[in-house]
Amino acid sequence: MSESRSRERAAKQIRRLREEIVYHETQYYRDNNPQISDKEFDQLAKELEALEAQYPDLLTPDSPTQRVGEQLQEGFPSVEHHTPMLSLDNCYNTDELRNFEERIRKIIPEAELGYVVELKIDGLGIAIIYREGTLAQAVTRGDGIRGDDVTSNVRTIKSLPLSIDQAGEVEVRGEIFLPFTSFRSLNQEREESGETVFANPRNAAAGSIRMLDPKVVASRRLDAFLYTLFLDGAEMASQWESLQKLHDLGFKTNPRSQLCTSLEEVIDLYQNLINERDHLEYDVDGIVIKVNPTEQQRRLGHTSKFPRWAISLKFPARQATTRINDISIQVGRTGALTPVAALDPVKLSGITISRSTLHNEDEIRRKDIRIGDTVLIERSGDVIPRVVSVMKDRRSGQERAFEFPTSCPVCRTRTFRPENEAVARCVNPSCPAVVRESLLHFASRRAMNIEGLGEALVDQLLESGLVHKIPDLYHLSLEGLEQLERMGRKSSQNLLEEIDKSRHNDLSRLIFALGIRYVGERTAQILAGHFESMDSLAQASLEELMELDDVGPKVGESMVFFFQQPENRALIESLRAAGLNLISALEKDIGERPLEGKTFVLTGSLKDMSREQAKTRIESLGGKVTSSLSSRTDYLVVGEAPGSKLPAAQRLGTIQLSEEEFLELISG
């Protein structure tokens, strides 16, 4: 075949691969509806990379392979916005919202008003420009007039398309945010490495987007919702049309946005969203109400600071004051010593809070936290409560400073705090607290999912000497378990069945269960999908590991170090001898998948199975379980005492299944 024909054939193949990859990125990152496995997606990406390497003249900036640049940036140039990115005026109750409408009616008294309501994401404002269909520039909000050019970093956000089917200049504006799962994972990594943790997801998102290394930004897994559109400088006829057009162009818009025909409808929606916000996967602090028709927006205009046609209605604060009764030290599975405050119980976001993490010794000193202090605590979504500040004006003089221990409170081994790290650690691998936390993590539902192996039973197993390390779980006997408190024959049989069942878990669960530093659930899934067996993963070099998108230097070095340790290699061999699966499920026969492409949400408690068991069953049949409802949810499974998801499903028209109907569906 001639060189020109080979090149022509490669160009067609490159176009096909790019279209296919972009389609699957959209399904996964925008629509939360993956169509292929991670392994199959990686194979498409590698095939495209190989062709582009062979024909570098065919490489274009909008190729999916160009999301992450190789070079560090050298600061961020300042860029002026085409039109100012104005702030929003805030109101804090429905009376102030009604005043907002009264001001509108004074300017356009004859108008028939309609509103678009959007969730106010607590993130980082961004303006992104596409020229002739290609992402050309991304600029932070800055002071509203000028912002920082962060194009290279924004290109790493996989829910944002690198190219769109629209000629001319297109500007979109929205909010970059960090989902709670990514926020927890990031803070856990920072805490374990001795770095200062981020106070909230917004600070984490802002800090991430301004990092100079796009590869590190990519590892943070930022996301974005878009809500403003300019086509060659012109706006759509209404805000609702803008949202529809944004979605049609491939952008991610918030599925909870709603068109309301009256202010009373806005207020009803606001009340419902107050109850739903704790079930969202991202941080919101209110709603944004916008007059829908663009012509009315123009007539209303804006002040020097705010548009007159939009306002933010804040949610009630999720903060409370309480008293610190004591401070104790928890020893984690990596040996990290974490101070925890015991609080006077207080209600916050619908639950009773009695404990709060204080992170580390430096945090206690920086905030001058003392035993007996009255403090302000805050809870964001399902993020662990934290102490925001100390109310020093309420001190009586009886408060006591907390002395951070220099030895492990459990095994009395002297602790070690590396230079430039904030976390002190117990360095004794046989420390009972380290072993205890490792066992609890190994058995947790996101890891090996051994139901019934909770704190009380783990404590008994360790105290009785039946278990000294993780592999001992797989050698427990009925006779031994029956000797423990509250462990009759039936309970013991159930536990042994759960332990036996865990032998057949997918490799990704086992990788996560091992508790390798910096390796979270998502990273474990990527590693299992790529290497396919524990043996291949254990032999992987740092260079091979870092070829994966979610593996940076810290994760790669931690993996290599883990598998180099003789005790960890012995652990793997002991688990192999105990009959655990060390091969990815991608290499096995997965059988029929009648729920392929269907998305489920669970609410309330089920009588005949746990929610984790229901999730596992749905996924084994090809379905997907998410934590929040959207217009793309197929089924809501309704158990006893359902929460706010039930009325939300009724509004969205989602099919609702009772537990009996659900069991019939999955058994059929």
Catalytically active residues are 120
Identify the H or E element spanning 554: helix 553-564
**Is the separation of the CB atoms in 312 and 304 below 8 Å?**
no
- CA torsion through residues 40, 43, 48, 51, sign: negative
CA distance linking residue 280 with residue 223, whole number of Å: 14
Residue 21 φ/ψ, nearest 5 degrees: -65, -45
CA distance 602 to 190: 32
In this structure, are residues 300 and 290 in contact, taking their beta carbons and an 8 Å threshold? no
Tell me the longest C-alpha to C-alpha distance in the chain.
88
Q: Which residue has the tokens 């996924």?
A: 619
* Cβ atoms of residues 437 and 512 within 8 Å: no
Token digits of residue 494: 């159930």
Burial-class residue 567 by CB neighbours within 10 Å (0-12, 13-18, 19+). exposed
d(CA 436, CA 441): 9
CA–CA separation, 633 and 650 (whole Å): 12
Q: Give residue 295's identity as a one-letter amino acid code.
A: E
**Contact call for residues 629 and 654 (beta carbons, < 8 A):** yes
If you search the block for the tokens 């269960």, which residue do you land on? 513
- Can you say how many angstroms the Cα of residue 336 is from the centroid of all Cα atoms in its chain? 23
Q: Give every strand in the sheet of 310-314, ordered side by side.
A: 90-91, 310-314, 284-291, 115-121, 258-260
* Inter-residue contact 320 to 348 (CB < 8 Å): yes
- Amino acid symbol at 156: T
Question: Up-side HSE of residue 99: CA atoms within 13 Å toward CB?
Answer: 10
Of 245, 246, 267, 243, which Cα lies nearest the Cα of 256? 243
Q: How far apart are CA 314 and CA 1, in angstroms?
A: 66
User: Which positions ≥6 away from 313 have C-beta within 8 Å?
Assistant: 90, 91, 92, 94, 96, 97, 270, 286, 287, 288, 289
- Do residues 173 and 227 make contact, with C-beta atoms less than 8 angstroms apart? yes
Encoding tokens for residue 31? Answer: 């629509």
Cβ-proximal residues to 393 (8 Å cutoff; 6+ apart), any chain = none
Asked if residue 355 lies in contact with residue 418, where contact means CB atoms within 8 angstroms, the answer is no
d(CA 28, CA 254): 15
Q: What DSSP assignment string belongs to 97-118?
A: HHHHHHHHHHHSTT----EEEE
**Measured distance CA(67)–CA(49) in Å, rounded:** 12
Q: Which residue has the tokens 């409170």?
A: 409
